Every structure is written in structure tokens, then in C-alpha cells.
A and B are shown apart, each in its own frame.
Chain A
């Protein structure tokens, strides 16, 4: 079974530039998550999709971050314009239909973003 795919793996941009990350979840997984992991911290949920719809985006900085899930499968996360504090690893995860234990989420390898 193929895992969660993410690209690019690394990205370096200057502040005020824009950047986009792509995620392809495990086939059949209805729920998709984007996390931000700042160095020395645990992953923090940015947005959760259930199929095409947004379930939780309460911690997404909507003035600069946006995300969409195309046809309930792939997803993109965009930052525009980037700030220095956006430097982090962006993790995508997926899981089976919500409401099933053990709530196991499968993570991709992440995209390491450096904003200079």
C-alpha cells in the first residue's frame, strides 16, 4: 500500500514570496490533515478535510494560508506572502472515515520550508 506522498521535500524562499505544497493521501482515506511542525515542537493541526469539505481550520492563519482538496483526493497548501516564522516542516496526514478508532493517522515525509 502506497503511503502519503508530499512534494516538494524541501523549499527555500525569501520572505514575502509565495509557496505551495502538494499532498496525495492514501487511497480511500476520506480525511486529510495539514500540520505545521516548528523546530522543537510537536505537529500543530492547520486544517482538516473530510472528503472535499473543511472540518476544522481554526488554527489556519487565513490572511496568508489557504488550502484546498481537489475532488476529495489531492490537496494543496499555499502560503502567500511567507513570513520568517513560517519556517517549519509541513506534514500531510490521512486517515480512514472519521469516527473510527483508533484514530490512526498516516503521515507523509513532510516538506521542510525555510523562509529567509
Chain B
């Protein structure tokens, strides 16, 4: 039972353009969402998060949007840079329970 889904296994974007990574979830109990970035041979690193009481959170080039009614969130990267090439995981959590449920990841490739 895949409660967090990232339906695009890969995405290629031209340098300087916007990258949009999508994530859908099925469990309505989730109330906090995180994005992690992973380079090869390294562990995932935290990128940005959003609480379910918000619909947008911004940090520099990274913005996460949450649509609770659609059970959908997206990560926008503007402008995209070569160093952004990595695998991005969406994760969700229920308040009071630190168990992260991860999606399957999207491999983002930024083309110079």
C-alpha cells in the first residue's frame, strides 16, 4: 500500500528553467510533509517542509505547495541549477508520530 506516490520516476529540465516535482498521498491523517534530496552514495538531506495548515512554504529557490483537497503537493525549483540534479523524495508524517512515509523518488536532471 503506497501511501505516498511520486508518479514521475525522472524529469529533465533546462538550466535556468523551473523544475516542478509532484507528489500525491492517500492517507488523510498526514499533516506534515517534507522534501528530501539525495545525491548518489549519500544519505537523503532535508530540503523543505510544509505543515497542513499552510498551502505554501518558500525557502530561497525552493517553494512547496500543498493542496489538501486534492491530496497533492509539489516542489518548485526556480531557477534550476546543475547542482540540483539529484533524486528527490517526498515524505509525509502524522503529528505525534515521527514515522516518515516516503515516496519512491523522482530523479531530476538539470541540462546545462
Interface residues of A (CB under 8 A from B): 4, 31, 33, 40-45, 48, 55-56, 91, 93, 95, 98-99, 101-110
Cβ–Cβ contact B99 & A56, under 8 A: yes
Known: A103-B93, A105-B46. A42 touches B51 (CB 8 A): no
Cβ–Cβ contact B89 & A43, under 8 A: yes
Q: How many Å from the CB of B79 to the closest CB on chain A?
A: 25
Bound-state CA distance A93–B42 (Å) is 12
Tally of contacts, chain A with chain B, CB under 8 A: 63
Interface residues of B (CB under 8 A from A): 4, 9, 32, 34, 36, 41-46, 49, 51, 89, 91, 93, 96-100, 102-105
Cβ–Cβ contact B89 & A91, under 8 A: no
Chain A interface helix/strand/loop/mixed: loop
Bound-state CA distance A31–B46 (Å) is 16
Listed A/B pairs (6) with beta-carbon separation below 8 Å: A40-B9, A40-B104, A41-B104, A98-B98, A99-B96, A109-B41
